[in-house]
Amino acid sequence: MDKVRAGAEQDQPVLGHLTRSIVLVGMMGSGKTAVGTALARMLDAPFLDSDHEIERAAQMSVAEIFARDGEPFFRARESEVLERLLSGPPGVISTGGGAFLSEANREMIARLGVSVWLKADLELLWQRVRHKNTRPLLRTADPKRTLTDLLAQRLPHYSKAQVAVEAEPGLSVPDMARKVIAHLREVDGLIEEVKDA
């Protein structure tokens, strides 16, 4: 399992401990992996990337799975992996951009964790993904139009997340992670405070 553990290695103070898993949702390019890794360090929790777990099990990339087996096959594996990760110890879980579209996934996340939408506008997303060829859904004649359409289709689903945090251009990854933690502190009982020794 891909895990990144806490603070001592990064000289990052631990800001609390999770009682349930945090599941980061949002569009490709919203910062789920980068912010999730920083959150995991700050909360002394494992960082788990559902796409990496799927790739490891299949021994091929997400793009290769899409090409060989199609999106429905990938989404079924994604749900299985998400359930396995949520059933483990509390951690920070990064999901693929389409994971939260499934009502069954949303219900599972609400039951076993807390969903956090990293909300980014179209221009910020486009700046982050336009030069990457690892996004199978953007392998189209007009990738920006495709991204625009995907964002419009997915917004109603993402808006069902338990917590929404606005991504800001120019905000560093650690600052965005601290912003997420500030929002998570409003979820009753999710973060236990660090006790002084």
Pick out the residues of the known binding site for ATP: 29-34, 135
**Count of all residues that appear for the chain in the document:** 197
Bridge partner residues of 165 (DSSP): 118
Please enumerate, by residue number, every residue annotated as part of a binding site for Mg(2+): 33
Q: Where are the beta strands (DSSP E) in 19-158?
A: 21-25, 47-49, 92-94, 113-119
CA 53 to chain centre: 13
Annotated binding-site residues for substrate read 51, 75, 97, 154
Point out the annotated binding site.
29-34, 51, 75, 97, 135, 154
Q: Is 94 helix (H, G, I), strand (E, B) or coil?
A: strand
Beta-carbon contacts of 128 under 8 Å, excluding residues fewer than 6 positions away, are: 29, 31, 120
Write the DSSP string, 147-197: HHHHHHHHHHHHTTSSEEEE--TT--HHHHHHHHHHHHTTSTTSEEPPPP-
Question: For tokens 């788990």, what's the residue?
Answer: 48
